[in-house]
Structure 1
Amino acid sequence: MKRFGLAIQIVIGLILGILVGAIFFGNPAVATYLQPIGDVFLRLIKMIVIPIVVATLIVGVAGVGDVKKLGKIGGKTILYFEIVTTIAIVVGLLAANIFQPGVGVDMSHLQKTDIHSYVETAETTQSHSMIDTFVNIVPKNIFDAFVRGDMLAIIFFSVLFGLGVAAAGERGKPVLHFFQGVADAMFWVVNAIMRFAPFGVFALIGVTVSKFGLSSLVPLGKLVILVHLAMLFFILVVLGTIARISGVKITQIMRILKDELLLAYSTSSSETVLPKIMEKMERLGCPKAITSFVIPTGYSFNLDGSTLYQALAALFIAQMYGIHMPISAQITLMLVLMVTSKGIAGVPGVSFVVLLATLGSVGIPLEGLAFIAGVDRLLDMARTVVNVVGNSLAAVVISRWEGQFDKKKAEQYLKEVSAKAA
């Protein structure tokens, strides 16, 4: 009997989680027994993310060893991120304007969710400008950055360390070999942890469905469906066009990442798949120096799914309250989102915090967020998938832009993936 692949195992875990959650809806015992399983899985992933990012980035940068070349890659990466996230905002605004998901929603049938923790986070980060973000990229204490999981500061340190290893020449070789060994060991650990993924998915989905039930979807069904369709459109049309220009098909990338996309969708966490997508994009022909820099940086600056959702959700709330948003106000909203979505990168519950920091500036009631918080987990699942696909594609785009994409390696890997699927 052929053993089920990881993707099938995750789907089985997802279905069983939904069934258990629906059967025991409202029973607090579900969270008591299943939440620890889900938490252990997420902790296992978070445990290895930073060692992998540090090791692969140091090895990749040391392999390049040219400050000017790295600066060029960094500039192109940030420019690309800004263009694509702006397109995502425009797609979100267009979807909300065309389909009007908030029109006719009866707020008396909606259940309010406590968003107090998000409000407190927004208040502490509202004064956090883009300039503050760039200042905080430089860590005062790298070990403090490791403890807090401050990815931008960790990337900055790793790039400098990699340049130092390259500058040391022969004396730096033992250090380079050490970090290559760390990276190889950590990828083995990732593969071991992934065997636990179906159980983690089962637990996390079971807890979510048992808390909110499937009935909470009905009043906000139009919003949930529209968000998923808008995300699908963005992947197939926008990212699909960018992929074609870059010489690959978006469906090929999605086929390569099928396990990771299912896992990201089920857990609503991009972090769970960061190590694997870095590994797979490297196997697809992207150089280590680019994948190890572009993908982790994209987790802070290239959240396409999150920015699309923020634009759509802002107009949904305005429509729900009957507030007319003229083109000028929507342009203001777009400009504010372009800044706030980057300015507080890395904050927990970032999509909600960004919306709280944005809605007031364009005259939309903040209380409206309390009505959609209940289905936010389901919306988060969709935007996480877009974030993962967008950052994976970004590695290909920058590799092609730099003329470093290995087409033969890509063709060979795609053949291997097709043969395995057959």
Structure 2
Amino acid sequence: MASTLDAVRRSNRWFGHLYIQVLIAIVLGVLLGHFWPDAGESMKPLGDGFIKLIKMIVPPVIFLTVVTGISGMTEMVALGRVAGRAFAYFLFFSSLALVLGLVAANVIQPGRGLNIDPQTLEAGAVATYADQAHASTLSGFLMEIIPTTALSALTEGSILQTLFVAILFGVALAMVGEPARPVTHLLDSLSRVVFRVVSMIMRVAPIGAFGAIAFTIGAYGLGALAKLGALVGTFYFTSAVFIIVVLGAVARMAGFSIFDLIRYLKDELILVLGTSSSEAALPNLIEKMEKAGVSKSVVGLVVPTGYSFNLDGTNIYMTLAALFIAQACNIDLSLSDQVALLLIAAISSKGAAGVTGAGFITLAATLSIVPSVPVAGMALILGVDRFMSECRSLTNFIGNAVATIVVGRWENAVDRDQLGRTLKARPMRTSQVPEAAAVVEAPAE
């Protein structure tokens, strides 16, 4: 009894929570990067190593979640319906995010008054991103969904390729039916092992967050924020409006609070903040959505596809940054020019879906098609893009969490009571430890 009580108390100490550990790591990383920039930059391998660990486990997590979810479906019509509703949701809210970024840029005008001569901009600084943007055509993207082999989808780390193979495999299992049950049971057991690996990896999340933020501050410095504070501030404000007002309204109509959801996902959000990557929290998002009462089949389809097609934060950034560059270079864009920019951004954002650094790359792809705004203007925001990538990732992550629950509600595939209990739950306080210990040691009935 005493040992169990001690264990529960240790788990409830303030520093025992992942989000507290990551927050402390972020603060230490900022201090190191600011006061000792060279040392901060040298921490980059810690952040890169953690992201590689996460990317290592993401393909099997997606494959197992999608396969076991689809194989449990009794009707294949339901699969098409879930996919159709998910893409309709993605298309509408991604477009709305593009419009919101455009409106914010016109109202606040963060680039006005900088008076930058486009001829003085260093185009070479963004040449690599421009090249990647040209390579990310829509037709090329569609061809990339098909892997070289079924196994290469799991080994090359492509979310969309893994999703494609998993859907085929899951549909095949469902069609075979009872004879395939041993395979389904095996995959269920394997998924438990894989998620245990995820929990092991998450133990080193504070180290990864420390390395990533120390590198960012050391390499780019807090001074860059002061120079382009209007752009960064506008982007964070617009993203907050989108989350609280737009997604908040959607959440309320779906029967839950956006603030309860954010509190429920606080560990993952702080991890995303520290690593500037929403992919770092993808496995945990899948697990938490299932624990919240959303069916495995819906989670398995909506979350992975959302990570490629429901990039709300990236879309806000694209139109806002494009107009910022135009304003900074004193280029007046007419309403028709802005509408054309909006339509091109909507297409190019899908063409580079799933590409690492998609925000900056899709912006380059968009500007390369819009002759009025120079691609070289991206050099203006290169120094603060890393700071904005954190907000992009946070907005994308929250947007996909909301999308998962909403699509699940449309499908009547959400346990509403479980969702309410889970989102309203509070961490156990130390004063509750005796009761908790008694429950732990109660004999099984």
**TM-score with structure 2 setting the length:** 0.89
Which residue of the partner structure matches residue 123 of structure 1?
134
Q: Which of 378, 398, 401 is the aligned partner of 1:392? A: 401
Q: Which of 349, 370, 376 is the aligned partner of 1:367? A: 376
Which residue of the partner structure matches residue 443 of structure 2?
none
Deviations 1:230-274 (A, max 9, x none): 111110001101111111111111011001011111111111100
Amino acid at match of 1:361: I
Check the 8 A contact 1:17/1:205 in 2, yes or no. Answer: yes
Deviations 1:157-202 (A, max 9, x none): 1111112112222221111111111211111111121111111111
Check the 8 A contact 1:118/1:349 in 2, yes or no. Answer: no
User: How many angstroms does 1:206 deviate by?
Assistant: 0.7
CA distance, structure 2, for counterparts of residue 157 and residue 66 of structure 1:
19
Check the 8 A contact 1:231/1:382 in 2, yes or no. Answer: yes
Check the 8 A contact 2:60/2:154 in 1, yes or no. Answer: no
Amino acid at match of 1:288: K
Alignment partner of 1:22 is 2:34: yes
Q: Which of 114, 124, 129 is the aligned partner of 2:125? A: 114
Q: Over aligned residue pairs, what C-alpha RMSD do you find?
A: 1.9
Check the 8 A contact 1:201/1:266 in 2, yes or no. Answer: yes
Amino acid at match of 1:239: L
Amino acid at match of 2:399: G
1:27-176 aligned at under 5 Å gives the runs: 27=38, 29-32=39-42, 34-105=43-114, 107=116, 114-125=125-136, 128-129=137-138, 131-176=139-184
Q: How many residues are aligned here? A: 415
Which residue of the partner structure matches residue 204 of structure 2?
196
Amino acid at match of 1:251: F
CA distance, structure 1, for counterparts of residue 252 and residue 348 of structure 2:
30
CA distance, structure 2, for counterparts of residue 136 and residue 233 of structure 1:
35
Which residue of the partner structure matches residue 9 of structure 1?
21
Deviations 1:110-155 (A, max 9, x none): 9968222212212222xx22x5444443334222333332222221
Amino acid at match of 1:211: A
User: How many angstroms does 1:350 deviate by?
Assistant: 1.2
Structure-2 change in CA distance of 1:394 and 1:180 (3 Å): same
Q: Which of 261, 264, 268 is the aligned partner of 2:269? A: 261
Q: Which runs of 5+ in 2 are unaligned?
A: 1-9, 433-445
User: Once structures 1 and 2 are overlaid, which stretch shifts more, 10-19 or 351-360?
Assistant: 351-360
Which residue of the partner structure matches residue 408 of structure 1?
417
State, as a whole percentage, how many aligned pairs show the same letter: 40
Which residue of the partner structure matches residue 6 of structure 2?
none
Q: SS of 1:101's equivalent?
A: coil
Q: Which runs of 5+ in 1 are unaligned?
A: none
**TM-score with structure 1 setting the length:** 0.94
CA distance, structure 1, for counterparts of residue 49 and residue 82 of structure 2:
36
Check the 8 A contact 2:367/2:374 in 1, yes or no. Answer: yes
Structure-2 change in CA distance of 1:349 and 1:337 (3 Å): same
Structure-2 change in CA distance of 1:380 and 1:94 (3 Å): same
CA distance, structure 2, for counterparts of residue 404 and residue 149 of structure 1:
29
User: How many angstroms does 1:36 deviate by?
Assistant: 2.0
Amino acid at match of 2:382: A
User: Once structures 1 and 2 are overlaid, which stretch shifts more, 393-402 or 137-146?
Assistant: 137-146
The structure that has the greater radius of gyration is 2
CA distance, structure 2, for counterparts of residue 136 and residue 188 of structure 1:
31
Q: Which of 325, 330, 338 is the aligned partner of 1:322? A: 330
